[in-house]
Amino acid sequence: MALLHSGDASSEDRGMNQPAPRTGRHLIVGDGPIGLATAQALHARGQEVTLASRSAPKAAAYPHLRLDALDAGALKRAAQGYGHIHLTLGLPYRTRVWQRDWPRVMRGAIDAALAHGALLVWFDNVYAYGPSPLQVPMREDHPIAPASRKGAVRAALLEMLREADAARGLRWLVARSADFYGPGVRLSMLYALAVQRQLQGRAAWWLGDPDKRHSFTYVPDAGLALALLALDEGAWRQTWHLPTHGHAPTPRQLLAETARLLGAPAQVRAIPAGLTRAMALFSPPLAQVSEMLYQFREDYVFGSDKFMARYPDFRITPHAEGLARMVDSLRPAGRA
């Protein structure tokens, strides 16, 4: 069992004829953009979906549970009767919180899945990949050698899944994306540093080198792909990279397009390393990003060939189309 890498399927599994999805019940823990996109895609395929989060529901279209994923007992009770548990939640972006809370969330999700015979789907990122510089392109067999404390947390969670599979027969699926973008997405560097400023008529900022290639995964594509994988028993017990455009643009190229759409200045101003360190003293969120800056100073190219080989008819949304939808969703009401 090769959890940390691709868990290669047989040539038959990789064929173009996919098994028909079974009707099932899905508990999606985390109702942010990825959770909502996954719910929409599953619902469109006749699946019963419930979203769960600590906060009030964000989408009236689906049933919602108030659930704290840190409460293992509550999660186990909530998961009764569900064949799939999807972990799409995020935790506050602080290393100490990740070190304290992510193992609790994963342990509770594993126990809930095993208690009810459910498939556990985890939406992961690439933080566990390393060392720096990252391979170009990154594929599912990239070495797990994290270059950051947050990456070390993610690597430890992967080990928890591996151990639960080997010792207890857990059924699992890990799906990773690059940095993501899309309609309504605000918790991203692309928005926080750049598009948000362009919406205000100002020049975009960027951490690191805006002329290094950087992949971005479109959120609706990620949600559809997560649904396809969860419903495909031949995809389980593997790690998958979610479909991402094979041409990795530079941030400068992407932001030239959003600037055009918004009528904003076309300049992209790289924040000098010294200024980044100084700003981090007064901005806790920026301080938390500092250990991840290697991802913005080198080529960050995400490969999803494995997914496309299994689902060759999947249409990856072109960047221009995805950026236009993102901008339209973020533009203040009344502005065209």
The pLDDT of residue 281: 56
Locate 209 and state its tokens: 């080198």
Question: What integer pLDDT is reported at residue 57 of this predicted model?
Answer: 81
Q: What is the pLDDT of residue 169?
A: 98
DSSP 8-state assignment for residue 31:
-
In whole angstroms, how far apart are CA 172 and each of 142, 185, 233, 259? 19, 27, 10, 41
Ranges of residues in the chain whose predicted pLDDT is under 50: 1-22, 334
- Residue 33, preceding peptide bond in cis (omega within 30° of 0): no
Q: How much is the pLDDT for 287? A: 65
pLDDT attached to residue 278:
62
Taking only the tens place, the pLDDT of each residue in 239-256 is 999 999 999 999 999 999
Q: Express each pLDDT in 43-100 by its tens digit.
A: 999 999 999 999 888 777 899 999 999 999 999 999 999 999 999 999 999 999 999 9
Specify the pLDDT at position 9: 38
Residue with tokens 């969330």: 105
Find out whether 264 and 202 touch, Cβ atoms under 8 Å: yes
Query: What's the DSSP call for residue 272?
Result: P
- What secondary structure letter does DSSP report for 242? P
Question: CB-based burial of residue 248 (10 Å sphere; 0-12 exposed, 13-18 middle, 19+ buried)?
Answer: buried
Beta-sheet pairing, 119-124 with 84-87 = parallel
Which amino acid is residue 178, in one-letter code?
A: A
Domain 25-180+216-241 is found in CATH 3.20.20.100: no
Residue that the structure tokens 């969860």 belong to: 230
Alpha helices in the chain (DSSP H): 33-44, 72-78, 95-116, 149-168, 189, 196-199, 219-230, 251-262, 273-282, 284-289, 294-297, 305-310, 319-330
Return the domain boundaries, the chain.
25-180+216-241, 186-214+247-300+317-329
Tell me the C-alpha distance between 319 and 317, whole Å: 6
